[in-house]
Structure 1
Amino acid sequence: MYVPRRPSRSEFIPIRGHQYHVRVWGEAQAGQPPLVLVHGWMDVAASYQFMVDALPGERHIIAPDWRGFGLTTGPHCDHYQFADYLGDLDALLDHCTADQPIDLVGHSMGGNVVMMYAGARPQRIRRLVNLEGFGMPASRPSQAPGRYAKWMDELKALRRGEMDLKSYDSLEGVAQRLIKTNPRLSANKARWLAPHWAQERPQADGSPRWHILGEAAHKVTSAQLYRADEALELYQRISAPLLAVEASDDSLGQWWKGQYTLADYHERLKRVPQHRIACIDQAGHMLHHDQPEALARLLTEFLT
């Protein structure tokens, strides 16, 4: 099994009615901004361990489990609003870093969060890194009726148990699920991630099953359309230098089949006053798993 070079510790922080689980590496150091890492959809903070191990030195690093993921707990809900991630991040920084500017990294959904947050709170960010947080295709007002109908239909499906996440009979089953999703993930890393990504719970008959540490409500489609015009307004208000990192595998091409492309994403990035784009070879969407050393080198150069 993978052995971390820099083990983390867990802290639990009350944030907006939730008990947020925050993974912490190192200690605060005078004159050095904290490095805050936020994960993507159906992931956890521990997912950054491989990249953290590849970073040189002993930096103070903070990584939360978003609401509804990992070990963060809170009130039951049947859907999640994207704006709540911004509110949670703002409260987390109030608690952990006060007014000190930070270096902020987000992956996938987390990448979209940090881009929006940096546009709304530009004074809080010293350096910004977006790992495959591409946004989504521009929407049209005419899509709103169908979107609201789909949202209500999925709420009903969730109540009927039709959107429940699959459980597994062993940790090895969880590890194999991780490898199936990302064939580049090595078996030793998958086995290390498995107990961070899932938790053992007894079934009604007393038999144990391993359940993914993510709420099924995250699968419910947002009732709100993605407003590309709003995103662009936020992008152009980002004052920190931005490093936008993408993998050599074209995730957008796989997901959107030409409806939204890397060229479209790059065009949007032009709204960010200071930005550069970097690509990591032999990597897919989980690039912090696939090439943690290459990613750590990019971050180290950019953040220093």
Structure 2
Amino acid sequence: MYQIEFQLADQRLSGLASFSSERPIENKAQLSAVLTQKPVMVMLHGWQDNAASFAPLFGKLSERFHIIAIDWPGHGLSTSRSADNFYHFVDYVDDLAQLVALLDQPQVTLVGHSMGALVAVCFAAAFGDKVDSLMLIEGLAPLSETAESTPDRLRQGIVSRQRYRARAQQRQNRSMDSFQQALDLRCAVNGLMPEQIKPVVARAVLQRDGRWYWRHDNRLRCDSLYRMAHEQSRALVASVQCPVLSIIGETGYRKLKREQPDAQGWQQLEQIEVAGGHHCHLQSPERVADEILLFNSNFNALV
């Protein structure tokens, strides 16, 4: 794996790639001689994870794809959003659109985990001509709620920002004694073994003056000011025309399991279950990689 950087209009996205290139990528021409022979796969991580969450999948998948796994803004080694901004969900779709434009490929394959899966669905709905298939790990339709929930959602979001501003200085100074403490915290929160989450934690922390700090932007923890209505989420799902593979963990989010996926509005959706929980791609990376390759081979055989 190689470090990679992309310069967007207002952000610098860092990430990992299966190929080496000059940094940062600022225009289409820089990758034109690199992204040949194989299709391009873009990997999109979940909330407060980073590109390293896909590291266990690189080995097998890079034999068939050029792989790019990004750190979302405010995550990993990417820059944070400007001081007058927060992390609106739809802005991640814009980030992805800028990245895909820089790649300058006819189409890309998108692999998303959790929040990254939801962003991938929205992008595929809006720019279907740029996506040949979706691989969604523990994530499906964009989060939605009833329209009647809007006032409460707005209030909760504003209050969370007020709370963030009041605690900003204190939170910036929070630190840990060691890398092991950071690793133990993530293991406890995510129910993972140290060896499974260690690469993610290594990319998520920095050491300064003998202390360890999380890199992620604390504004990520602020609640959204709004959430889509159910009708909007269903409209996006119904607009996704490419083949979709849904991968869920045996002990992951049960609400993701679809007994009748067609009833949810998906045009082409196949769902499989693998060992593990919400981070099943870290717990069963070989199986997840195999299922992605099999799905890709099957739908390509039909084209």
Q: TM-score range with shorter-chain normalisation?
A: 0.7 to 0.9
| 2:16 is equivalent to residue 14 of structure 1 | no
TM-aligned CA distance change 1:120 to 1:172, over 3 Å? same
Shift of 1:177: 1.6
| 2:295 is equivalent to residue 289 of structure 1 | no
Give the whole-Å Cα distance in 2 for the aligned partners of 1:39 and 1:269: 27
Structure 1 ranges of 4+ moved more than 6 A: none
2:234 pairs, out of 222, 225, 232, with 232
CA deviation profile, 1:197-218 (whole Å, cap 9, x unmatched): 211234xxxxx32222211111
Aligned-residue sequence identity (percent) comes to 22
Aligned length in residues: 281
Contact 1:54–1:292, Cα closer than 8 Å, also in 2? no
| 2:111 is equivalent to residue 105 of structure 1 | yes
Residue of structure 1 in register with 2:249 after alignment: 247
TM-aligned CA distance change 1:180 to 1:58, over 3 Å? same
Task: Give 1 or 2: higher helix fraction.
Answer: 2
RMSD: 2.3
Q: Name stretches of at least 5 consecutive residues in structure 1 with no aligned partner.
A: 1-7, 203-207, 253-260
Contact 2:145–2:228, Cα closer than 8 Å, also in 1? yes
Which aligned pairs between 1:211-230 and structure 2 lie closer than 5 A? Answer: 211-230=213-232
Give the whole-Å Cα distance in 2 for the aligned partners of 1:36 and 1:136: 19
**Letter of the aligned partner of 1:18 in structure 2?**
Q
TM-aligned CA distance change 1:84 to 1:266, over 3 Å? farther
Shift of 1:78: 5.3
2:61 pairs, out of 24, 47, 55, with 55
**Letter of the aligned partner of 1:212 in structure 2?**
W
SS of structure 1 residue aligned to 2:75:
coil
Residue of structure 2 in register with 1:67 after alignment: 73
Residue of structure 1 in register with 2:87 after alignment: 80
**Letter of the aligned partner of 1:279 in structure 2?**
E
1:170 pairs, out of 162, 169, 178, with 178
Contact 1:103–1:128, Cα closer than 8 Å, also in 2? yes
Which aligned pairs between 1:256-295 and structure 2 lie closer than 5 A? Answer: 261-262=255-256, 267=261, 270-281=264-275, 283-295=276-288
Give the whole-Å Cα distance in 2 for the aligned partners of 1:56 and 1:64: 15
**TM-score, structure 2 as length reference:** 0.85
Shift of 1:129: 0.6
Q: Name stretches of at least 5 consecutive residues in structure 2 with no aligned partner.
A: 21-33, 298-303
1:35 pairs, out of 34, 38, 41, with 41
2:121 pairs, out of 97, 101, 115, with 115
Contact 1:171–1:191, Cα closer than 8 Å, also in 2? no
